[in-house]
């Protein structure tokens, strides 16, 4: 017997591949490529100090957030978290020692704070990865957003989101500690290149793991649903035979 199709309200809507691709290009371009090019151009061709170049380079992620907000015509929880961390980064950057190494250490501390935030939201009604998942697993349309929100009622989905949040939190705390250590032993120019690569390298690795883990949990859920349906059919057949 075939497994029945999911109810319409829980069927995953078709996703726009073009919109998803544009989103990823903007994210990588404005958060990795543009900051590195800006830093190198300002320090090598225009004589800017390392600190000033680093500070201006951090404006690119703000533009990324603004573009996404204008594109989606709303600011979701993901955008709010991003903006809060950008404000924290700016404030932290302006206090204390104004050296390139200090700024790199402060920047590393911000990603560590993100990891701690992930861990802290495990105590909240919904963990942080629920909102990040909704950002990247859907195309932002009302139908796909409603589908994602509706999945929260399932135990397996809630467990998956909490496990993902735990792994992301631990990974980014560890990443921050490694980057802080490297900032003390490597030249600033080297760290300007390595730092975003580490951030998004860890992000890429976590993304691959998240995709694999999510598919595995989805397959397990489908198998359990099929087993439950088969057991229900068998029980109904046995009851009919004994009637």
pLDDT at 7: 43
- Written as six digits, the tokens of 150 are 């509706």
* C-alpha span between 30 and 37 (Å, rounded): 10
Give the lowest-confidence range in 84-93, 147-156, 168-177, 184-193: 84-93
DSSP classification of residue 126:
S
* DSSP-derived 3-state class of residue 15: coil
Over residues 7-37, the pLDDT tens digits come to 444 556 555 566 656 766 777 777 667 877 8
- Written as six digits, the tokens of 63 are 């533009």
Q: Are 101 and 184 in contact (CB under 8 A)?
A: yes
Give the lowest-confidence range in 38-52, 76-90, 156-170, 180-194: 76-90
Which band of pLDDT confidence, cut at 50, 70 and 90, is reported for residue 223?
A: confident
In a 13 Å sphere around the CA of 172, the CA atoms on its Cβ side amount to 26
Mean pLDDT along residues 101-118: 81
pLDDT at 163: 95
Q: Are 137 and 210 in contact (CB under 8 A)?
A: no
* DSSP-derived 3-state class of residue 14: coil
Which band of pLDDT confidence, cut at 50, 70 and 90, is reported for residue 1?
A: very low
Mean pLDDT along residues 206-232: 82
- Written as six digits, the tokens of 207 are 């993304």
pLDDT at 122: 95
Closest by CA to 129, choosing from 141, 115, 110, is 115
* C-alpha span between 32 and 143 (Å, rounded): 31
State residue 127 phi and psi, 5-degree precision: -75, 165
Give the lowest-confidence range in 15-19, 176-180, 219-223, 236-240: 15-19
Mean pLDDT along residues 208-227: 83
Provide the H-helix boundaries in 140-187.
Answer: 142-150, 155-185
pLDDT at 2: 40
Over residues 42-85, the pLDDT tens digits come to 877 888 876 677 677 777 777 776 776 676 665 555 556 665 66
Which band of pLDDT confidence, cut at 50, 70 and 90, is reported for residue 170?
A: very high
In a 13 Å sphere around the CA of 173, the CA atoms on its Cβ side amount to 12
Rg (CA), the chain: 22
Query: What is the rounded end-to-end Cα distance, in angstroms, of the chain?
Result: 23
Mean pLDDT along residues 212-223: 84
Which band of pLDDT confidence, cut at 50, 70 and 90, is reported for residue 124?
A: very high
Which band of pLDDT confidence, cut at 50, 70 and 90, is reported for residue 226?
A: confident
**Model's pTM, two decimal places?**
0.64
Mean pLDDT of the chain: 77
DSSP classification of residue 2:
P
Q: Are 183 and 50 in contact (CB under 8 A)?
A: no
């Amino acid at each position: 017997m075939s497994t029945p199709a999911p109810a319409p309200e829980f069927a995953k809507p078709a996703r726009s591949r073009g919109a998803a691709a544009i989103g990823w290009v903007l994210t990588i371009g404005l958060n990795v490529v543009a900051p590195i090019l800006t830093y190198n151009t300002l320090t090598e061709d225009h004589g800017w100090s390392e600190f000033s170049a680093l500070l201006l380079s951090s404006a690119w992620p703000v533009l990324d957030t603004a573009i996404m907000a204008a594109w989606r015509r709303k600011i979701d929880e993901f955008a709010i978290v991003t903006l809060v961390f950008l404000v924290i980064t700016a404030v932290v950057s302006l206090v204390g020692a104004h050296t390139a190494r200090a700024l790199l250490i402060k920047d590393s501390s911000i990603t560590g704070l993100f990891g701690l935030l992930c861990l802290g939201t495990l105590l909240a009604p919904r963990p942080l990865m629920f909102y990040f998942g909704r950002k990247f697993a859907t195309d932002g349309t009302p139908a796909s957003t409603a589908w994602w929100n509706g999945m929260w009622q399932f135990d397996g989905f809630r467990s998956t989101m909490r496990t993902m949040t735990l792994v992301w939190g631990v990974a980014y705390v560890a990443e921050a500690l490694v980057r802080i250590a490297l900032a003390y032993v490597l030249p600033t120019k080297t760290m300007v290149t390595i730092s975003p690569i580490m951030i998004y390298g860890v992000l890429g690795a976590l993304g691959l793991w998240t995709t694999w883990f999510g598919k595995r949990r989805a397959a397990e859920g489908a198998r359990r649903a099929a087993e439950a349906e088969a057991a229900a059919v068998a029980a109904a057949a046995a009851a009919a035979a004994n009637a």
